[in-house]
Amino acid sequence: MPQLAAEAACYALRHCNLPPHTMKKLALAALAGLLSLPALAHDYSAGALKIDHPWSRAMPASSPTAAVFMTISNSGGADRLLAASTPQAARAELHQHLNDNGVMRMREVSGGIVLPAAGQVKLAPGGLHLMLLQVPKQAVSGDRFPLQLQFEKAGKVTVEVTVESGMAPVHPAGH
């Protein structure tokens, strides 16, 4: 990818009829953009697993909980997400929302979250998610924090969770 960008820049320098100072500014802007791409990347790999865009919603400062969402793609054999941990909370649990006779309830997932072979699992609001419990201080929009995921086969993977603004999901009473 960087070689392709360099070739495109060389072509532009030779074939564009822009003043030299403008071309220099464009070249510097292109280089700065290329150098910032790794910083903008928000996906992680562990063997056959790809973990895309781990994020959490900004919660009220008084909330003792938060949730983390992401998409996990598996290009290999079946695996299982067994656990998670973060310095952001005393505990992290694997949770799911269930419809119990018309009432939405949140429950811990026992045995882990199955990642089917050549499949994808979305941890999203209203479905599977990681529940952070006993959060001493809520993160605010723009913050990032580490989260370690423990997979049955892929092992431990540390990702960085980005805190995004927006309405926090409503959690059932007692949660």
Instruction: Return d(Cα 78, Cα 99) in angstroms, integer.
Output: 27
Q: What is the mean pLDDT of the chain?
A: 82
Percent of the chain with pLDDT over 70: 71
For 71-118, the pLDDT digits (tens) are 999 999 999 999 999 999 999 999 999 888 989 899 999 999 999 999
Instruction: Return d(Cα 172, Cα 175) in angstroms, integer.
Output: 6
The 10 Å CB-count burial string (b at 16+, else e) for 75-89 is eeeebbbeebbbebb
CATH architecture of 43-164: Sandwich (2.60)
Choice between 171 and 54, residue whose per-residue pLDDT is larger: 54
The domains of the chain are located at 2-40, 43-164
Which pLDDT does position 114 carry in this prediction? 97
The 10 Å CB-count burial string (b at 16+, else e) for 106-119 is beebeeebebeeee
CB proximity list for 158: less than 8 A, separation 6 or greater: 146, 147, 148, 149
Q: Can you give the pTM of this predicted structure?
A: 0.72
Lowest pLDDT segment from 44-48, 119-123, 157-161: 44-48
